[in-house]
Amino acid sequence: LRCGMRTTKCQLLVTSLCVMLLGLSIATMSTVTHYGLHFTLISNISLESNSYRAIHHAAFYFGICLSMTLILAALLSSAATVRESQCLTAMGFFCFALAFCGLLPAACWRYTHSTEVEDSMMDVYDLVYEEVRRNTSSFRRHELTVIHEVFLCCGKHSPFGDTANVEHKTCPPSLVHNAGQDCLQEIQGFLKKHMDFISTLLGVTIAFTVYGMILTSFLWFSIHFSSNLDRKGKYILR
């Protein structure tokens, strides 16, 4: 039993370190996604039908809460390993379980709504582009120009007529030679790489979270039975 407990404690320390690093990675990714220029640019566009704005804010707060839960689970598990405390071990298991309950729906949402983020961002670009094409207002034209500069693209293929005039007014001089290049494909390609990295991070975190739950539960039972064995045969006179 003591040998098994020692092995479990070593594995739990390594797992806790990895979980802490994953929690910091999720916090960093959430911050980059929330404050990154590519994402804030689309989120801040003032459209009533800007569905990306809600996803943008929800992803940030969810990521921060999840990272804090993972870091807390790692700290509690490390302290429980050093002190061999049943209470700390149970709290570490609870934090791992809480993180798992958040990670699983997030992973399911990612695979069942695999294109929702991409579609919402491309819809915003479509609406801005078509509004500039119809109205050519200075306000929307400035927003479209900034999008072209940030995503390094110029215009899109539109079924509603010639778009050369719009692209001439909104494409930066350095990108005029790329006129006709579909900006929607650039946005989709950029988001696909970003979301693939997030999916990988979620999968690795789920694996370590499940392993942490197994180790903390095994350590709890090991401490419990070891304590009972140490007391076996000892009597207290009253």
Report which of 79, 107, 62 is spatially closest to residue 20, judged by C-alpha positions. Answer: 79
User: Does residue 158 register a pLDDT over 90?
Assistant: no
Report which of 148, 113, 153 is spatially closest to residue 132, judged by C-alpha positions. Answer: 148
Query: Regarding predicted confidence, which is higher, 98 or 111?
Result: 98
Query: Regarding predicted confidence, which is higher, 227 or 98?
Result: 98
Which range is most confident: 124-128, 133-137, 161-165?
124-128
Contact between 167 and 155 (Cβ < 8 Å): yes
| Residue indicated by tokens 């739990």 | 12
**Cα-based angle 141, 194, 178 (whole degrees, multiple of 5):** 40
User: Does residue 2 register a pLDDT over 70?
Assistant: no
Query: Regarding predicted confidence, which is higher, 51 or 238?
Result: 51
pLDDT band at 181 (very low <50, low <70, confident <90, very high): low
Which range is most confident: 35-39, 151-155, 175-179?
35-39
Q: What is the pLDDT of residue 79?
A: 93
Q: What is the pLDDT of residue 85?
A: 87
Q: In this predicted model, what pLDDT tens digit does every residue of 193-225 receive, in sequence order?
A: 999 999 999 999 999 999 999 999 998 888 877
Cα–Cα dist 118/88, whole Å: 42
Q: In this predicted model, what pLDDT tens digit does every residue of 56-78 receive, in sequence order?
A: 999 999 999 999 999 999 999 99
Phi, psi at 49, each rounded to 5°: -100, 25
What share of the chain in percent tops pLDDT 70? Answer: 84
Contact between 95 and 76 (Cβ < 8 Å): yes
Per-residue pLDDT averaged across 131-139, rounded? 75
Q: What is the pLDDT of residue 57?
A: 92
Per-domain residue ranges for the chain? Answer: 1-155+166-225
Contact between 18 and 204 (Cβ < 8 Å): no
